[in-house]
Amino acid sequence: MEVASILIYICLFLSSLLSYFFFIKKKTRISKPKAKLPPGSMGWPYVGETLQLYSQDPNVFFTTKQLRYGEIFKTHILGCPCVMLCSPEAARFVLVTHAHLFKPTYPKSKERLIGPSALFFHQGEYHNHLRKLVQGSLSPDTIRKLIPDIESMAISALESWADGHVINTFHEMKKLSFQVGILSIFGLLDSNYREKLNENYHIMDKGYNSFPSNIPGTPYQKALLARKRLDQILGEIICERKEKRLLEKDLLGRFLNFKDENGQILTEDQIADNIIGVLFAAQDTTASALTWILKYLHDDQKLLEAVKAEQMAICEANNGGKKSLRWTQTRNMPLTYRVILESLRMASIISFAFRESIIDVEYKGYLIPKGWKVMPVFRNIHHNPENFPDPHIFDPSRFEVSPKPNTFIPFGNGVHACPGNELAKLEMLILIHHLVTIFRWEVLGTVDGIHYGPFPIPQQGLPARFWQESTSLNQDCSP
């Protein structure tokens, strides 16, 4: 009897223990706090904080937010709720390790102008194929052959500025980076096509940041018409290439020769959208970086002299500039290269990447709701004193040692990282070489401050005057 009652007691004890654990577990599941939205302000209804972002110095906008709310905060930009993430780990989470949860996203009006098949609007197989083609055409092995042509473009641009008139540096740099973009896509293109592409691309570009309106005569409508004409011109170029059966290794050649594993080729629309997409990705970014480099060098004459000394040595080795730059020389310009890196850090041309979360995602206890825009803010990562001490000071020597992992990402990271970064750097090195060895320039007006349109550029595009330096025997680096 006693044994039976002990057994009953043990059973009762065990069952109550089990139900206790079950209850606790259930309770924990029920009461587990749901991830909360990050802190931050959503601003005014509909406009949110768009005006603040686009009217303020972006450094001030982002830094104030981060100081107030920390490394993750919510806001409302361009009609969309957004989560901004400002740490290297968070940028890696969104762009690399969990990239499949965040799709690239652009306003429809912009997608319409560039063309919906451009690679950076896509994820998955289509994006992979296109990306490989673009990467191949912009690889070091391919672009090294472009050096003599980029040099002659840079020299003729510099000569055209050096007659004493005031130029808008950013506008002129845009012309140069457009030409280099055309070169990388088509090789040496017939001047008639080049001019037509230039003229229509310029109209499209003017409408790109305008209000998307359906009213005829507005910049956006003009841009759409110009975009249609670009399709026609590209169609003619493609047709001519096919007739001549030219098997070029440039980007257009790669697009035309592409076949996927099922034998599927690219349509003319897909090719046209990707050509416009690459031109778009290449032009303002490189022009903005070049404009900042000129400003930073102008503001630090001692640094300019040191860069000049580095470049003069190369110039002299090239028979006073009579021989073309060699690839190995462009890979051995340590100070000039550090000036480029520091300019990319300081200016942070692409302030943030733009993605959309495809499901509810939890990151560090915060909820990023499905459909919200997600923006890893490169600018804050580049301006955080923990990553770069005294971040507001222009100091190329900080790049004598490599930055901490994931803290320097001017060209992005992961599956959408910039495939044009080597070409952009090559173009900058070549322009600086010819600029500092042959020319001088002065910046006009008090031009401190950033204009954000949408790429950050110095106020008024950096008005400047250029002239050719009087050549002495040792300085004969003229073309």
Measured from the CB atom, is 340 or 477 closer to ligand HEM? 340
Tally of CB atoms within 10 A around 165: 9
Residues listed for the chain: 479
Q: To the nearest whole angstrom, how small is the minimum distance from the Cβ of residue 289 to ligand HEM?
A: 4
420 binding ligand HEM? (CB under 6 A): yes
353 binding ligand HEM? (CB under 6 A): yes
Token pair 């222009």 is found at: 394
From candidates 52, 285, 329, 384, binder to ligand HEM by CB under 6 A = 285
Token pair 């044009």 is found at: 420
The Cα angle at residue 443 between residues 438 and 444, in degrees rounded to 5: 140
374 binding ligand HEM? (CB under 6 A): no
Q: Which part of the chain contacts ligand HEM (CB under 6 A), choosing from 198-206, 321-329, 362-370, 411-419? A: 411-419
Distance CA(347)–CA(378), nearest Å, equals 10
The Cα angle at residue 448 between residues 52 and 388, in degrees rounded to 5: 80
The DSSP call for residue 96 is I
From candidates 203, 346, 349, 457, binder to ligand HEM by CB under 6 A = 349
Distance CA(227)–CA(220), nearest Å, equals 10
From candidates 289, 377, 438, 464, binder to ligand HEM by CB under 6 A = 289
Beta carbons of 366 and 87 less than 8 angstroms apart? no
278 binding ligand HEM? (CB under 6 A): yes
From candidates 281, 315, 361, 430, binder to ligand HEM by CB under 6 A = 281
Q: Which part of the chain contacts ligand HEM (CB under 6 A), choosing from 260-268, 304-312, 410-418, 456-464? A: 410-418
Q: Which part of the chain contacts ligand HEM (CB under 6 A), choosing from 76-84, 152-160, 275-283, 367-375? A: 275-283
- φ, ψ of residue 458 to 5 degrees: the values are -60, 150
**What is the Cα 444 distance to its own chain's centre?**
28
The Cα angle at residue 206 between residues 201 and 211, in degrees rounded to 5: 130
The 290-329 contact track toward ligand HEM, x by CB under 6 A, reads ----------------------------------------
Q: To the nearest whole angstrom, how small is the minimum distance from the Cβ of residue 56 to ligand HEM?
A: 21
408 binding ligand HEM? (CB under 6 A): no
The residues near 328 (Cβ < 8 Å, ≥ 6 apart) are: none
Measured from the CB atom, is 95 or 436 closer to ligand HEM? 95
Q: Tell how strand 355-357 and strand 373-376 pair up.
A: antiparallel
Measured from the CB atom, is 162 or 197 closer to ligand HEM? 197
Measured from the CB atom, is 260 or 305 closer to ligand HEM? 260
The 100-119 contact track toward ligand HEM, x by CB under 6 A, reads ----x--------------x
Distance CA(156)–CA(274), nearest Å, equals 28
Q: To the nearest whole angstrom, how small is the minimum distance from the Cβ of residue 153 to ligand HEM?
A: 14
Distance CA(256)–CA(304), nearest Å, equals 44
Beta carbons of 413 and 95 less than 8 angstroms apart? yes
Q: To the nearest whole angstrom, how small is the minimum distance from the Cβ of residue 106 to ligand HEM?
A: 9
The 129-148 contact track toward ligand HEM, x by CB under 6 A, reads --x--x---x----------
Residue nearest to ligand HEM (CB): 420
Q: To the nearest whole angstrom, how small is the minimum distance from the Cβ of residue 251 to ligand HEM?
A: 8
Q: To the nearest whole angstrom, how small is the minimum distance from the Cβ of residue 120 to ligand HEM?
A: 3
Q: To the nearest whole angstrom, how small is the minimum distance from the Cβ of residue 145 to ligand HEM?
A: 15
Distance CA(106)–CA(115), nearest Å, equals 11
418 binding ligand HEM? (CB under 6 A): yes
Measured from the CB atom, is 112 or 131 closer to ligand HEM? 131
Residues of span 429-468 touching ligand HEM by CB under 6 A: none
Q: To the nearest whole angstrom, how small is the minimum distance from the Cβ of residue 26 to ligand HEM?
A: 43
Distance CA(125)–CA(111), nearest Å, equals 19
Measured from the CB atom, is 102 or 438 closer to ligand HEM? 102
157 binding ligand HEM? (CB under 6 A): no
The 161-190 contact track toward ligand HEM, x by CB under 6 A, reads --------------------x--x------
Q: To the nearest whole angstrom, how small is the minimum distance from the Cβ of residue 468 to ligand HEM?
A: 27
Radius of gyration for the chain, computed over Cα atoms and rounded to the nearest angstrom? 27
Bond prior to 454 in cis (omega within 30° of 0): yes
The DSSP call for residue 40 is B
The residues near 62 (Cβ < 8 Å, ≥ 6 apart) are: 84, 86, 351, 377, 379, 380, 383
Distance CA(38)–CA(137), nearest Å, equals 41
Beta carbons of 308 and 436 less than 8 angstroms apart? yes
Q: To the nearest whole angstrom, how small is the minimum distance from the Cβ of residue 420 to ligand HEM?
A: 2
Measured from the CB atom, is 278 or 435 closer to ligand HEM? 278
Nearest to 117 by CA among 241, 259, 229, 231: 231
Beta carbons of 272 and 230 less than 8 angstroms apart? yes
Longest Cα separation, the chain: 118
Interaction site with ligand HEM (CB under 6 A): 104, 119-120, 131, 134, 138, 181, 184, 278, 281-282, 285-286, 289, 349-350, 353, 410-412, 416-420, 423-424
